[in-house]
Amino acid sequence: MKNTRLTSILGSSLIACALSLGSLVATQSASAQSTAVAEVNIPFAFHTPTQTLPAGAYRVDRTGNLLILTSTDSKAAGFVLTHSAIKTQAPNHGYVVFERYGDTYYLEQIWTAGENTGIECPKGRAEKESMMAKNSTTAPSSVELALNAIPTH
């Protein structure tokens, strides 16, 4: 009896895994088509919710809610799971928004020219700690950098 039940559970688990893997592959191929590509020159080190990246020029790829940042010299890379942000008016030019606490910068939003839907990064632990710091007597300031679309050939 136990062997039959174990075989049934294992069989069900394998089917569920196969279906999950199939849906992930289908989702990846469908969303890969929606990748937006741009470049931004960031003159300071900055934080994402999970890591710190050095100053430099970065290629920005977006696939659904996944943002991939790769330095143009391929020495640094990172990714961020983002969520959508909406503006009432689409911006005329693309830009990247950072929140600045003293000399520390946190990636916040990315807006593409002509689109009223952008992406927003969740606040990571380090940013939350910066917000709560007792010695932080000034409010954070926003810093915007131009996002340059890479021409398609």
Q: What is the mean pLDDT of residues 54-80?
A: 92
3-class secondary structure, 134: coil
Q: What is the mean pLDDT of residues 119-146?
A: 81
Q: Place 140 in a pLDDT band, splitting at 50, 70 and 90.
A: confident
Considering only CA atoms, which of 141, 150, 114 is closest in space to residue 40?
150
**The pLDDT of residue 100:** 93
Strands (E), 31-151: 36-42, 46-47, 52-53, 56-63, 66-71, 77-81, 83-86, 95-101, 104-111, 117-120, 141-146, 148-149
Q: Place 137 in a pLDDT band, splitting at 50, 70 and 90.
A: low
**The pLDDT of residue 93:** 93
Are the beta carbons of 39 and 57 closer than 8 angstroms?
yes
Q: pLDDT tens across 21-63, in order?
A: 444 444 444 444 456 689 999 999 999 999 999 999 999 998 8
Q: pLDDT tens across 94-115, in order?
A: 999 999 988 899 999 999 899 9
